[in-house]
């Protein structure tokens, strides 16, 4: 109740000498209460509106530069798509993001060529495979339906390794800097074994499974030879798939032997000599000299801002077996 209002307006209060003064007093108090509540609601709506404008401003600030740049580029240009960082369904270099950007670039009439600028150590073989397949699908589709031969070039920055290279071989040509690190054509799975440490500490492992191999790669249990052989066969299968894609993409350009597929990586200069890359170049030089459209427009699909905020506010559950065991096309710690 707004008692200050009544203190200021004592003269407005009904007099006890008036008939039905109690009812008049209650009516006046109720009217003042309702007036006060309406005022509060107005302010509440006003502040909610300000918060909405603030959130819209954040979204516009995050996404409008690219949108404005694309809309304003009425002349022919080269579409730039970043593949940066670990390739995973949860990162900016996810297949969803890269494929969405690829489709937007192919559909734009002003785009004369696509440049995939790769700076990645690798990641999920599935995500990399999706992107590789979509590059080839889009090229074939637009060649058939629109008679549009859209060139796609991969440009390596610091690192184009493993899953990053898996994507690159789907392009028409690969260009690198002389100091880029290129290759790492292999598959890995890693973990730790704490069995001996547990025995020294006197800790008993109680693992119950339905299915004799359900606890495979449990870090607190021994790794039987049969399971080791099985896991190696899975890795070998994935490796053969990777090698087949590299040979399909590079063909007779490859000049090395089996060492190319051993998991080693080379400098950009060495990669050119081995046929893993076609030459030295940057995004700008490829756009200017090969595509013939020097203007670069960024088509990179950024991760959804609201989704990112939601994930930051809450804990992430269920990392899954792929993250737990680190089955990756890459090197280093599990991505």
The arithmetic mean of pLDDT across residues 66-95, rounded, is: 81
User: What are φ and ψ of residue 68, in 5° steps?
Assistant: -65, -40
Quote the percentage of the chain above a pLDDT of 90. Answer: 53
C-alpha span between 264 and 271 (Å, rounded): 11
**Quick one: DSSP state of residue 176?**
E
pLDDT-derived band of residue 78, with 50, 70 and 90 as boundaries?
very high
CB atoms within 10 A of CB 269: 16
C-alpha span between 166 and 129 (Å, rounded): 7
CA torsion 117-120-123-129 (nearest 10°) is 20
Residue 322 has what pLDDT?
44
C-alpha span between 186 and 102 (Å, rounded): 26
Q: Which helix (H) or strand (E) holds 67?
A: helix 21-72
Burial 192-217 (b: 16+ CB within 10 A, else e): eeeeeeeeeeeeeeeeeeeeeeeebb
Give Cα 334 distance to the centre of its chain: 16
Max CA separation in the chain (angstroms): 111
3-state per-residue secondary structure call for 8-54: HCHHHCCCCCCCCHHHHHHHHHHHHHHHHHHHHHHHHHHHHHHHHHH
C-alpha span between 318 and 326 (Å, rounded): 14
The arithmetic mean of pLDDT across residues 135-163, rounded, is: 92
**Residue 109 neighbours by CB under 8 Å, 6+ apart:** none
Q: In the numeric block, which tokens belong to residue 121? A: 């150590």
DSSP calls for 100-148? HHHHHHHH-TTEEEEEEEEEE-EE-HHHHHHHHHHHHHHHHHHHHHS--
pLDDT digits (tens, 9 = 90+) for 181-238: 999 999 988 888 888 887 788 888 888 889 988 888 888 888 889 999 999 999 999 9
Residue 302 has what pLDDT?
75
The arithmetic mean of pLDDT across residues 13-18, rounded, is: 60
Higher pLDDT, 41 or 310: 41
Strands 173-176, 279-280: pairing is parallel
**Predicted confidence (pLDDT) at residue 3 exceeds the cutoff of 70:** no
The arithmetic mean of pLDDT across residues 97-115, rounded, is: 95
**Predicted confidence (pLDDT) at residue 323 exceeds the cutoff of 50:** no
User: What are φ and ψ of residue 265, in 5° steps?
Assistant: -135, 160
């Amino acid at each position: 109740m707004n008692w200050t209002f009544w203190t200021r307006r004592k003269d407005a209060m009904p007099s006890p000498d008036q008939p039905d003064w109690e009812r008049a007093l209650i009516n006046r108090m109720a009217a003042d209460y309702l007036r006060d509540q309406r005022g509060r609601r107005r302010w509440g709506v006003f502040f909610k509106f300000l918060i909405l404008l603030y959130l819209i401003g954040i979204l516009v600030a995050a996404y409008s530069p690219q949108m404005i740049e694309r809309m304003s580029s009425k002349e022919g240009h080269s579409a730039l798509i970043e593949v940066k960082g670990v390739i995973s369904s949860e990162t900016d270099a996810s297949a969803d993001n890269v494929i969405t950007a690829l489709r937007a670039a192919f559909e734009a009439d002003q785009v004369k060529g696509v440049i995939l600028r790769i700076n990645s150590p690798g990641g999920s073989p599935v995500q990399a495979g999706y992107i590789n397949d979509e590059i080839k699908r889009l090229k074939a589709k637009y060649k058939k339906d629109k008679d549009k031969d859209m060139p796609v070039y991969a440009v390596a920055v610091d690192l184009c390794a493993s899953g990053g290279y898996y994507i690159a071989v789907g392009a028409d040509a690969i260009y690198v800097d002389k100091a880029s690190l290129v290759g790492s054509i292999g598959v890995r799975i890693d973990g730790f074994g704490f069995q001996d440490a547990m025995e020294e500490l006197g800790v008993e492992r109680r693992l119950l499974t339905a299915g004799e191999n359900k606890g495979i790669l449990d870090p607190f249990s021994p790794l039987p030879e049969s399971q080791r052989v099985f896991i190696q066969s899975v890795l070998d299968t994935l490796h053969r798939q990777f090698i087949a894609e590299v040979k399909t993409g590079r063909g007779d350009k490859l000049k090395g032997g089996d060492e190319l597929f051993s998991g080693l990586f080379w400098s950009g200069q060495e990669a050119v000599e081995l046929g893993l890359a076609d030459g030295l170049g940057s995004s700008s030089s490829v756009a200017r000299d090969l595509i013939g459209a020097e203007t670069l427009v960024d088509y990179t699909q950024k991760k959804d801002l609201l989704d990112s905020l939601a994930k930051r506010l809450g804990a992430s559950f269920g990392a899954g077996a792929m993250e737990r065991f680190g089955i990756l096309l890459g090197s280093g710690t599990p991505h």
